[in-house]
Amino acid sequence: MSDVLDRNSATPLYVQLADVIRDKIKGGEWVPDQKIPSENEFNQLYGISRMTARQVLSRLVDEGLLFRVQGKGTFVSHQKISTRSPSYMGIREQLEQQGYATSTEILSEQIVTADARVAEALGLDEGAEVYQIRRLRRVDATPLSLHVSYVPKELAPQVIEHDLASQQLCTVLEREYGLVMAQVSETLEAESATKTLSKQMEVRLNAPLLLLEQRIASPKGAKFEFTRIHFRGDMVRLHFTYEH
């Protein structure tokens, strides 16, 4: 590190140091999972107090640029992918527009009976037959999101006969069955990776995830899709825009 802080500048030293670290991360000099200097090392390199160094590192941890491992130090975070809700545009399409290489794996496709939660979401009687479609989406070969979708069998017969790995479910439902997305109800909450989810998404047990639930209906109010999407909390930032 050869960067020098300008002590005669009106810009506070902690702001200058934070900018130096940001530039090293954004410029690729420091890469994800790389350990960075300690508070003591920053003190020696820049002649700043440990308290100032701690303040800077804490700020960058809050920004998501760094993460701490107790007893080991501070490391560069994997930068999060910013996406909008899938109701605006399919996740895969958004990722590909940003230049990411994506792939979709069908984990299972089957007919199941709707439990109370699925039945309520789709306006069905409990026990009604629905298609359950489980898909794992990867970015650059790393699991990003797990999609579990439910579609009433009577509204989209044989939907699982279509190639839902290369085609988006919403596209197939609209093109083949006339089920146009017009009404979307969404909830977003934090969750922790269960044993099953940690294995499927290649994260540690209890790692932070985001759970987005979508209830989708046609212009006439026919409920035709209920989807639960588990996102890796260390990889995704969901962006919502509202216009009034």
Cα–Cα distance measured from residue 231 to residue 190, given in angstroms and rounded to the nearest whole number:
10
- Report the alpha-carbon distance of residue 89 to residue 111 in Å, rounded: 27
Q: What is the pLDDT of residue 88?
A: 60
CATH architecture of 81-239: 3-Layer(aba) Sandwich (3.40)
pLDDT at 242: 60
210/215 Cα distance (integer angstroms):
17
| Per-residue model confidence as pLDDT tens digits over 159-215 | 999 999 999 899 999 999 999 999 999 999 999 999 999 999 998 899 889 999 999
Write down the pLDDT at residue 26: 83
Of the options 1.10.10.10, 2.40.110.10, 2.40.50.140, 3.30.70.920, the CATH number for the domain spanning 13-76: 1.10.10.10
Contact yes or no for 239/210 (Cβ under 8 A):
no
- Banded pLDDT at 65 (limits 50, 70, 90): confident
User: Could you read off the pLDDT of 127-144 as tens digits, one per residue?
Assistant: 999 999 999 999 888 899
CA separation for the pair 216, 223 (Å, rounded) = 6
Query: Which band of pLDDT confidence, cut at 50, 70 and 90, is reported for residue 27?
Result: confident
Residue 82 pLDDT more than 70? no
- Supply the pLDDT for residue 177: 97
Do the domains spanning 13-76 and 81-239 agree at the CATH topology level? no
Digit-coded pLDDT (tens) for 103-133? 899 999 999 999 999 999 999 999 999 999 9
CB contact at 8 A, 227 and 201: no
Annotated domain spans of the chain:
13-76, 81-239
Q: What is the helix (H) or strand (E) element at residue 113, kind and residue range?
A: strand 102-113
Q: What is the predicted pLDDT for the residue at 1?
A: 45
pTM of the model: 0.72
Task: Say whether 69 sits in a helix, a strand or coil.
Answer: strand
Of 220, 218, 219, the C-alpha closest to 156 is 218
Which of helix, strand or coil describes residue 222?
coil
Measured CA to CA, the distance from residue 224 to residue 201 in angstroms comes to: 27
How many contiguous H segments (helices) and E segments (strands) does the chain have?
Answer: 7, 10
Amino acid of residue 219:
P
pLDDT tens profile 206-234 = 988 999 999 999 999 999 999 999 999 88
